[in-house]
Amino acid sequence: MASKAVYSHRDPMLKKRDDFEDMLEERRNSSDLRYALKCYTPVLYKGLTPCKVSELKQMVLQSDQLGYVITQVSKEKGVTSDEVTGEAAAILEEMAQRLQLSTVRFFAFTLSKVFKTLFRSICINEEGLQRLQQAIHNHPVVLLPSHRSYMDFLLMSYILYTYDLALPVIAAGMDFMGMKVVGEMLRMSGAFFIRRSFGGDKLYWAVFSEYVKIMLKNGYAPVEFFLEGTRSRTAKSLTPKLGLLNIVMDPFLKGEVFDISLVPVSISYERTLEEALYARELLGVPKPKESTSGLFKARKILSEDYGSIHVYFGQPVSVRSLAESRVNRSQFNLIPRHIPTRPSEEILSFVNDSAYRLVRAQEENMVLKPWVLLAFVLLQKQAAEEKQGTALDELTEQAVWLRDLSRQYGAFLHWPDHIPPSEVVSSSLSLHRGLVRISEGRVQLALEQVGGQQVPGETRGAITPEEELLNKAVVILSCASYRNQALNVFIRPALLASAIHTAASNRKQEIYNSFSFLRNMFSNEFILCPGATVQDFEEACYLLVKTGTLQINQQEVLITERGHRTLAFLTSVLDPFLQGYQVVCRFLCEQDGLTEKQFIPAVRKFIIKHLLTGRLRYTEVLSSDLQKNALAALIRLGAVQKIKGGEEQGTLKLNKVMLNSLEDTLGGKLPTQKSVVAHL
Amino acid sequence: MPSQVTHELLLICTCLCSCLSLRSTPHQLCRVQSQGCKASICILISQNSNRIVTVVEIYIFAKQAQPRILTCTYIHFFHRQEIMKWNGWGYSDSKFLYNKKGQAEFTGKRYRLSGMIIPGLREWMESTFSANLQHKTPAAPILNSSAVQPPTLNEAFLKELKSTGIPFSHDAEDRVFRSHGHCLHEIFALREGKIGRVPDLVVWPNCHNDVVKIVELACKHNVCLIPYGGGTSVSSALECPPEETRSIVSLDTSQMNRILWIDEKNLTAHVEAGIVGQDLERLLNESGYCTGHEPDSMEFSSLGGWVATRASGMKKNIYGNIEDLVVHIKMVTPRGVIEKSCQGPRMSTGPDVHHFIMGSEGTLGVVTEVTMKIRPMPEYQKYGSVVFPNFEMGVACLREVARQRCAPASIRLMDNEQFKFGHALKPQVSSIFTSFLDGLKKFYITKFKGFDPNRLCVATLLFEGDREKVLQHEKQVYDIAAKFGGLAAGEDNGQRGYMLTFVIAYLRDLGMDYYVIGESFETSMPWDRVLDICRNVKARIVRECKDKGVQFPPLSTCRVTQTYDAGACVYFYFAFNYRGLILFCSREEILANGGSLSHHHGVGKLRKEWMRESISSVGMGMLKSVKDYVDPNNIFGNRNLL
Ligand SMILES: Cc1cc2nc3c(=O)[nH]c(=O)nc-3n(C[C@H](O)[C@H](O)[C@H](O)COP(=O)(O)OP(=O)(O)OC[C@H]3O[C@@H](n4cnc5c(N)ncnc54)[C@H](O)[C@@H]3O)c2cc1C
């Protein structure tokens, strides 16, 4: 437990961050064509033996690793190894990138044009790029950008090209391949394509992992992929996927390279291109297939002001130092390294922890705009059913209060301090005018007018209450996606605030128990590193004590006079999620027999009913993301069991006693240590 | 005393020696003192060319035409330190230094490099280490006896020892000399005049039976024994455990240095364990034989030491490592003498007890006699060398050579840094270039077009056997090399490479004079990890130096010194300007990458902490139970291995 509370956390306020430069500024002042044709001579890896795309493929096909699997597969399937090799070659053909400078130059030219019309500025921390250059020179590099938009990887390559840095090869999902021309273009700008699922396909896995490793080990190019696996539709970071991280760490763990640098990159959009698209997706309006024409349409619709982008290249993280005194590398000594082996528990947990660390590093350097804070206020007001909206100066006051709070918690907030707050607020509102309505000096979310405008193709005629609700929900979820950008700043204090709120007494031990319960419950929802409960608790305590919200002594946690406002705010941050998870529990309690496939549509219907009857306040609970996370958490906790294989494949087996108890505990009706889950 | 008299005295001594039935003629007059008509002379009687074995002090009446012997004391000061350095490597007369002109020079007469100017060395040293020759840290020139703790003597033991007539000494110099091996930290401490726990007594048994007596007495009086062979240990094996409270006795085997018999029918020789490598070879050569066991330390290391550490010789490809060469071993333990009852070439009699002895590092007893295989001396020897465009190609070639099982007597591959270093050691005659680096470039660019002088590397070769076969073998190896881009680079380069191995050890002392310290270490590994380990360990050294605040990047280099069917042995060298804690990390890196704890230097105390990890807990338990049975009271208390 947190008995030996060491409040030695580095003060987040003192976090040092680099300054930004706007890279579009030069584009606006000089020729794009000349820029696209500029001399490009990046610094390369010092151990690089240059090789061509075709040689790369040869190396993969001739590698011992692949050879081993080919023999294995040919024995298993009873076909000749030549056939399997042919299959492997075909997989590789489908997968491989064909990076060529001319395509990159083409993109550099067109993207310059596009970016200049869409964005006010693209701000980069140039010091981060210098660090990256150094890293590329010294060790193989893995670039790990956050993933919020289709733009991300084009943007990354664009930046690297502009700053004369080595162009990366990028792991991309196969869905792009649907767009013929674009797919090939992307391939030629360094993308390589991976099937979304290839579960048991040994051969595919072998080709894929060997391909990535060879590019990485030889320093052919920095390898770029998205730790989150896919674009986050909610703007919250997603639980990291470990497959690729495992692959890129392997050469270090097996001693094939001295070290590998992992570089987290945080890309923050002031306005996301896919804003409404995501909201609709989360609400179950099926997402348009990622086809070329779709993308172009999207661009046409979106030809308006998207504010600025901030890209922060974080401190390179050395895999060697991550592994130091954590991983016993000699475990790889007894099996030839080309024989594929399942990573040990030790390695898996190491990779997992590293992944969380990296995602947190991404989160920490995400730039937050004032609008993000406004979204907090507006959503809370909306949920409180303040129909007439919020007065502008009240909104400003609250935003300024939040500004100060979030800064104390270490948020990377870009609030222009030289401009009067009221102006900051009004310019933020005007950039997001699609989401808010201002009338008579009062601001509220633009819930009513949305209908016909934002959801084209919807059937005309009378709008049902359900449709109306969904239309509202689009705006609310869009708005929530901005609020979500800052959730990571508040999540630990918010968990603590809620724990204080639900705990029966102010005894520290009891609060810790509640905290631990909530944290465990929400660890699919937020980036909370497994096994770090004590650290998180201490971090939250530290922040709340430092900001004068709490006083904590040996035994007790006391709320200060001025602490109430902060605590109220913090509890309200977590409240939609608390309520949401309760509804999901309630829903499941009322089911008999349900398959995983049926879950989302059914729970959605259930929630709509609750919302329409006013039993549930938070429209955002309609987000399928929340619902999925809740289900995953319940499965993890054992309240729901997913049946694998057999007749009942995919059926959810429900432990209703536990679900009931979880619901009550979340609602604060049961003390955590008494509930079924306390000893989970 | 006039030299004429000196000469005369020597002659007299020769007679004396035969009277005293010493085995050898006097070698050198070491001290002559005269007082009035009495004189005392001190003669070194050396059985072998360069090793002090016995000192006889004779008092004579020198005034008369026929000097008359007054007394003759057979004193057993086996002052190795009179011809060997007490705080550095090798012979006192041989060392590198910068002469008045600032040129590097190797002194003495013993080696081919002796007496030569080495023009490139200075530039190499300055550019590699950013060392400044203005900044010197000379070693403490002589041992300050007062820095040595007075001996803890076990009087009862001493009394009984005296009655056996086995020579002993508790002179400070004798004790300090036997208190260390040649690890960097050991030599560094001596140079600084820092002296830790040293043996309290040194004994010189003359034969197996003497050892039996000593071990019995040690057991009886609970005295700690540490066998001492040539003192070339590089694993802290000879360091006295500081926590040892008993009297520590160093058992110096140097007097047990005879070849007891040679069996030409079976091609074996029975030898006392204290014999030193070069003597063993020379004596066998006189009969037309050799063992072919040539560790780089063979000038000083002993047969018993090899057995105790599982040593490996340069020419193991033809002759085998020590475990292949040994046919029979006799060892005295606290439980008694262990030896097998026959000398069959191979036996299946349970686990081979020789393997408890080999590598026991002085923890179980004293190896006293060994039967070794011998071979007729080779008819023909030929050196060679091959230049490869890079290290990777070189390793691939060595691997292929091993695959085809056609490795010459020795094949070694130096990396680029070491290749450059080798060049820096070229003596004056062959260098017509003004600057070392220029010369290097010119030489290699003109000779090996397309080879990058900053990447190329060199393999040195030694072939042995009958002439015809050697030439055939040579062709086979060069043909393989050619497939890996290797070009023959001449016999000279090869020979020089091997010659240098003997003088390189001297170089560390020069470095230390100028704040440059260095160390080497070895490991063995499977073939597929050779390149990775070489790269990672060298990179780790560089990184640790940087992290530890070493101002200038270190020299970090390696060479593949042995090839096997399933792997290779690699030697790493590093050196840098100033101090650090690099060895630990390097070993950690080796183990993490699938290298072994040691290929031949052994564990000693330096690498003890990794033993369990290396051989498993059960393995440790096995060794421990052997130790507990053989030596329950830890008489052989050097605390190596376990
Ligand atoms: C410059 C240099 C080059 C070297 N090159 C090589 C090389 O090429 N190959 C190689 O294998 N090693 C090499 N070594 C390491 C060293 O020479 C070997 O470990 C050698 O076998 C030690 O022999 P020694 O007689 O000097 O033993 P010592 O250093 O005196 O003792 C080593 C250990 O063996 C024990 N011991 C010694 N004699 C006996 C005995 N008779 N009975 C029982 N225990 C005994 C000692 O107690 C001690 O623990 C090198 C060392 C140096 C400094």
Q: Which residues of A are less than 8 Å from B529 in CB distance?
A: 255, 337
Yes or no, beta carbons of B536 and A330 under 8 Å apart? no
Atom of ligand 1 nearest to the CA of B306: 21
Q: What is the CATH number of domain B67-79+150-377+607-641?
A: 3.30.465.10
Does A450 have pLDDT greater than 70?
A: no
Q: Output phi, psi for A557, to 5 deg.
A: -115, 120
Give the tens place of pLDDT for each residue, A357-369. 999 999 999 999 9
Yes or no, beta carbons of A255 and B539 under 8 Å apart? no
Closest CA to A477 of A453, A457, A452, A454: A454
Give the tens place of pLDDT for each residue, A34-91. 999 999 999 999 988 888 888 999 999 999 999 999 999 999 999 999 999 999 999 9
State residue B467's pLDDT score: 95
Question: Does ligand 1 have an atom closer than 6 angstroms to the CB of B254?
Answer: no
Cβ distance A82 to A229 under 8 Å?
Answer: no
Measured in angstroms, the CA of A253 and the nearest CA of chain B are apart by: 9
Cβ distance B178 to B190 under 8 Å?
Answer: no
Cβ distance A448 to A253 under 8 Å?
Answer: no
Q: How far apart are CA B369 and CA A69, in angstroms?
A: 54
Kindly state the average pLDDT of the residues A507-536.
Answer: 93
Question: Does ligand 1 have an atom closer than 6 angstroms to the CB of B46?
Answer: no
Q: What percent of chain A has pLDDT over 70?
A: 91
Q: How many CA atoms lie within 13 A of A183 on its CB side?
A: 17
Q: Hey, of B455, B529, B584, which one would you mutate to test binding to chain A, going by the most A CBs within 10 A of its CB?
A: B529
Does A625 have pLDDT greater than 60?
A: yes
Longest dimension (CA), chain B: 78
Sign of CA dihedral B236, B239, B244, B246: positive
Collapsing DSSP to helix, strand or coil, B237 comes out as coil
Question: Does ligand 1 have an atom closer than 6 angstroms to the CB of B366?
Answer: yes
Q: How far apart are CA A239 and CA A491, in angstroms?
A: 15
Q: How far apart are CA A354 and CA A336, in angstroms?
A: 26
State residue B34's pLDDT score: 58
In our burial notation (b when 16+ CB lie closer than 10 A, e otherwise), range A89-102 reads: eebbeebbbebeee
Tell me what percent of chain B is helix, strand and coil, each rounded to the nearest 5: 35, 25, 40
| Lowest-confidence segment of A240-244, A290-294, A547-551, B10-14 by average pLDDT | A290-294
CA angle A461, A462, A463 (to 5 degrees): 115
According to the annotation, is B91 in a ligand binding site? no
Cβ distance A271 to A235 under 8 Å?
Answer: no
Cβ distance B640 to B362 under 8 Å?
Answer: yes
Closest CA to A405 of A498, A397, A367: A397
The CA-atom distances, in angstroms, between B618 and each of A660, B443, B615, B621, B625 are 52, 56, 8, 5, 10
Give the tens place of pLDDT for each residue, A310-322. 999 999 999 999 9
| Lowest-confidence segment of A119-123, A643-647, B118-122, B348-352 by average pLDDT | A643-647
CA A415 to chain centre: 23
Q: Which residues of A are less than 8 Å from B610 in CB distance?
A: none
Cβ distance A247 to A228 under 8 Å?
Answer: no
pLDDT band at A183 (very low <50, low <70, confident <90, very high): confident
What is the residue whose two structure tokens read 């006392």? B272
Residues 6+ apart with CB under 8 A from A263: A132, A135, A141, A142, A143, A144, A222, A313, A314, A316, A317
Q: For chain B, which residues make up each domain, given as ranges?
A: 2-62, 67-79+150-377+607-641, 380-593
Three-class secondary structure assignment of A390-432: EEHHHHHHHHHHHHHHHHHCCCCECCCCCCCHHHHHHHHHHHC
Q: How far apart are CA A321 and CA A327, in angstroms?
A: 10
Helical (H) or strand (E) element with B115: none
State residue B73's pLDDT score: 46
* Residue B38 token pair: 């009495």
Residue A175: how many CB atoms within 10 A of its CB? Answer: 15
Q: How far apart are CA B303 and CA B300, in angstroms?
A: 10
According to the annotation, is B231 in a ligand binding site? yes
Q: How far apart are CA A620 and CA A572, in angstroms?
A: 14
Q: Hey, of A64, A139, A258, A334, which one would you mutate to test binding to chain B, going by the most B CBs within 10 A of its CB?
A: A258
Q: How far apart are CA A321 and CA B407, in angstroms?
A: 40
CA B176 to chain centre: 18
Yes or no, beta carbons of A255 and B592 under 8 Å apart? yes
Closest CA to B121 of B499, B424, B423, B421: B424
Residue from B84, B255, B309, B357 whose mutation best tests the ligand 1 pocket (most atoms within 8 A of CB): B309
State residue B512's pLDDT score: 86
CA angle A175, A176, A182 (to 5 degrees): 160
State residue B128's pLDDT score: 85
Query: From the candidates B289, B571, B578, B629, which is the catalytic residue?
Result: B571
C-alpha B621 to ligand 1 mean position (Å): 25
Does A354 have pLDDT greater than 80?
A: yes
Of all protein residues, the one whose alpha carbon is nearest to atom 37 of ligand 1 is B305
What is the residue whose two structure tokens read 């995919």? A650
Cβ distance B500 to B118 under 8 Å?
Answer: no
State residue A106's pLDDT score: 92
State residue A502's pLDDT score: 87
Closest CA to A23 of A143, A223, A148, A164: A164
* Residue B549 token pair: 């605040």
* Residue B220 token pair: 């009886």
Yes or no, beta carbons of B594 and A336 under 8 Å apart? no
C-alpha B309 to ligand 1 mean position (Å): 6
The residues that bridge with B411 in the sheet, in sequence order, are: B461
State residue B39's pLDDT score: 59
Segment-wise mean pLDDT, segments of 10 residues, chain B, 642 residues: 54 54 49 58 48 51 54 50 84 90 88 86 86 79 85 95 92 92 90 91 95 97 97 95 96 94 95 96 95 95 97 96 97 96 90 95 97 96 94 97 96 92 75 50 64 89 95 96 92 85 86 86 95 94 85 87 95 75 79 93 93 93 95 96 92
Q: Output phi, psi for A668, to 5 deg.
A: 80, 15
Q: How many CA atoms lie within 13 A of B606 on its CB side?
A: 30
State residue A74's pLDDT score: 95
Cβ distance A622 to A604 under 8 Å?
Answer: yes
B629 is catalytic: no
Q: How far apart are CA A574 and CA A567, in angstroms?
A: 11
Q: How far apart are CA A233 and CA A296, in angstroms?
A: 20
First to last CA, chain B: 56
Residues of B in CB contact (< 8 Å) with A are 528-529, 532-533, 535-536, 539-540, 591-594, 613
Does A3 have pLDDT greater than 50?
A: no
ipTM, two decimals, is: 0.77
What DSSP string describes A583-609? HHHHHHHT-SSEEHHHHHHHHHHHHHH
Q: What is the DSSP letter of B302?
A: B
- A213 vs B139, residue with greater confidence: A213
- What is the β-pairing status of strands B68-73 and B96-98? unpaired
Closest CA to B201 of B219, B178, B220: B178
Domain B380-593 has CATH 3.40.462.40: yes
Closest CA to B486 of B384, B345, B636, B417: B384
The CA-atom distances, in angstroms, between B561 and each of B71, B254, B387, B460, B521 are 54, 29, 16, 10, 12
Give the tens place of pLDDT for each residue, A144-177. 999 999 889 899 999 999 999 999 999 988 776 6
State residue B53's pLDDT score: 45
Yes or no, beta carbons of A258 and B535 under 8 Å apart? yes
| Lowest-confidence segment of A380-389, A393-402, B394-403, B601-610 by average pLDDT | A380-389
Cβ distance A370 to A402 under 8 Å?
Answer: no
Q: What is the DSSP letter of B276?
A: B
* Residue A321 token pair: 């130092």
Measured in angstroms, the CA of A351 and the nearest CA of chain B are apart by: 18
State residue B75's pLDDT score: 44
- What is the β-pairing status of strands B555-563 and B567-577? antiparallel
In terms of phi and psi (left: phi > 0; alpha: psi -120 to 50; beta: otherwise), the region of A385 is left
Q: Which residues of B are less than 8 Å from A330 in CB distance?
A: 591-592, 594, 613
Helix B467-483 to helix B391-403 angle, to the nearest 10 degrees? 130
Q: In what order do the strands lie in the sheet with B380-388?
A: B487-488, B380-388, B457-465, B410-414, B555-563, B567-577, B516-526
Three-class secondary structure assignment of B429-479: HHCCCCCHHHHHHHHHHHHCCCCCCCCCEEEEEEEEECHHHHHHHHHHHHH
